[in-house]
Amino acid sequence: KNQVEQSPQSLIILEGKNCTLQCNYTVSPFSNLRWYKQDTGRGPVSLTIMTFSENTKSNGRYTATLDADTKQSSLHITASQLSDSASYICVVSAEYGNKLVFGAGTILRVKS
Amino acid sequence: DGGITQSPKYLFRKEGQNVTLSCEQNLNHDAMYWYRQDPGQGLRLIYYSQIVNDFQKGDIAEGYSVSREKKESFPLTVTSAQKNPTAFYLCASIDQITRTYRPGNTIYFGEGSWLTVV
């Protein structure tokens, strides 16, 4: 069964600190992996998208890594800001899949 | 500008009523999706459609129905059979589900609809 598991479920950090969110998947055959940021009650906003040949991709203070062998991805947030408080969702699509498989998300709260 | 539009933003349903959420896109996308999100939870797939006049059940299709009579429209009906419909509903679209390897396409999301049972 295609699954995407994210950890931790929730996280609280102080402003200015770094954090790393994890995404493990069992989707096969793999096509690409995306990270999204979702503010409460809004549609998700794309942060990064990676194919199996890409190990790392950055978007400002966000850096995503992908290990296609171990089927793991991480999202690293540097120098966190209060506006980073949101849910971060990992989405994996299969090469022959008809469905995008969403993780449950990690809820990040940045405190001042 | 191209995009995906959901309406209404807020909707209230009485017990036993059917309600329909609208999702329209002018991106010429083939595939459209409906997801449900409960507070503090992730997105769960209700239905998806890859082509006009065809759609498939997702993980939580019971109590919901859809239609895809036009490429740009994918309305979701929450029927009275859905016993716990209060949630946030998201519509999404993507231009094509690839069957051969190539870099992924952009997923477009609507702004979502809040449905509350009163």
Mean pLDDT by groups of 10 residues along chain B of 118 residues: 88 90 93 88 87 91 96 96 91 70 68 91
Q: Does B114 touch chain A (CB under 8 A)?
A: yes
Q: Does B84 touch chain A (CB under 8 A)?
A: no
Task: With H, G, I as helix, E, B as strand and everything else as coil, classify residue A45.
Answer: strand
Residues 33-62 of B with CB under 8 A from A: 33, 35, 40-45, 48, 50, 56, 58
Q: Mutate which of B25, B41, B101 to test chain A, going by most A C-beta atoms within 10 A?
A: B101
Spell out, as residue ranges, where chain A has pLDDT lower than 50. Answer: 97
> B37 exposed, middle or buried (CB, 10 Å; 0-12, 13-18, 19+)?
buried
CA-to-CA separations, B38 to A17, A41, A56, B56, in angstroms, rounded = 29, 10, 31, 22
pLDDT (0 to 100) of residue B14: 87
CA distance B91 to B75: 9
Given an 8 Å threshold on Cβ–Cβ distance, is B100 in contact with A103?
no
pLDDT (0 to 100) of residue B100: 47
Write the residue in B42, B100, B104 that is nearest to A105 by C-beta.
Answer: B42
